[in-house]
Amino acid sequence: MELTRIAEALKAGRVEDVKTYTEMALSVGKEPKEIINSGLMAGMNVVGEKFKNGEMFVPEVLIASKAMNAGMEIIKPLLKEGDVTSKGKAVFATVKGDLHDIGKKLVCMMMESSGYEVVDLGVDASPEKIIEAVKEHDADIVGMSAMLTTTMMAMKNTVEGLKENGLYDDVKVMIGGAPVTDNYAEEIGANYSSDSTEAVELANRLMA
Ligand code: B12
């Protein structure tokens, strides 16, 4: 079972095929993380390139995203490590004005599978909503995702809000997403990671 079949089906937006091939890959013993990286992510990366070059358009990208989510839903339960004690509580959100959630969901999945309790606030989350959730859940980590240069500012506003509410010193701020950089993170007082595996390593380092 070649994982490229998953990538091909995802690019073509064949949701049912993505599900079938993901199940097939698992049944022949492929590792969940390998399926994510060499199947689902590999396909989504090509979609990203084609979207950028004007070879794919929003409706097609949406269907590909649905296919990605469908594959991830199958893999999600397998990433959980059973009864591990919680490494900490993390609140995650895609920031205000931004509806991209595939990458953030992937980071949430990896965090959960490595033992963190994750509260996912979804997309388009205002600084107020994020700050409220940090308070309510007494979070150790807050993770923000932004995929648009225009929505990145919301990360800075949220960090400032955390400071104003006296929460900043008790919570580790992690940020990520395509336009986000290490420099930007440093500038606003957050920590950056470029992918979901690294995100877990970063969280572990911050919590150590
Ligand atoms: C899929 C997609 C969409 C889908 C989103 C579906 C969904 N449910 O998410 C749809 C079609 C809805 C969409 C809409 C739009 N999109 Co769009 N989209 C993409 C695309 C092709 C892929 C994003 C993706 O899912 N990648 C796969 C995931 C796995 O990767 P990832 O998101 O980067 O996440 C990884 C890391 O960044 C990191 N990470 C992510 N979040 C976090 C958080 C933390 C805390 C950490 C530590 C790490 C981390 O870990 C993840 C896993 O490894 C990108 C292209 C690209 N190159 O990114 C454009 C892209 C982001 N979109 C873009 C644009 C312009 C738009 C629209 C404005 C288009 C339009 N004209 O309507 C709208 C905006 C809608 C809105 N208000 O948000 C631009 C943004 C340009 C910019 N610099 O601002 C991009 C870059 C495409 C481009 N090159 O032009 N889009």
One pLDDT digit (tens) per residue for the chain, 208 residues: 799 999 999 999 999 999 999 999 999 999 998 999 899 989 988 998 898 899 999 899 889 989 999 999 999 888 765 555 678 999 999 999 999 999 999 899 888 877 899 999 999 999 999 999 999 999 999 999 999 999 999 999 999 999 999 999 999 999 999 999 999 999 999 999 998 888 999 999 999 9
Gap from CA of 100 to ligand 1 centroid (Å):
5
Residue 151 CB less than 6 A away from ligand 1: no
Give the C-alpha separation, 114 to 112, whole Å. Answer: 5
Give the C-alpha separation, 175 to 177, whole Å. Answer: 7
Residues 158-196 as b or e (16 or more Cβ within 10 Å = b)? bbebbeeeebbeebbbbbbbeebeeebbeebebbbbeeb
Gap from CA of 158 to ligand 1 centroid (Å):
20
Residue 103 CB less than 6 A away from ligand 1: yes
Domains of the chain with CATH codes: 4-79 (1.10.1240.10), 89-207 (3.40.50.280)
For ligand 1, atom 28, the nearest C-alpha belongs to 103
Q: Is 181 left (phi over 0), alpha (psi -120 to 50) or beta?
A: beta
Close Cβ partners of 142 (under 8 Å, ≥ 6 residues apart): 90, 91, 92, 93, 130, 134, 158, 162, 171, 172, 173, 174
117-120 and 141-145 strand pairing: unpaired
List C-alpha distances in Å: 30 to 2, 16, 105, 160. 10, 19, 21, 44
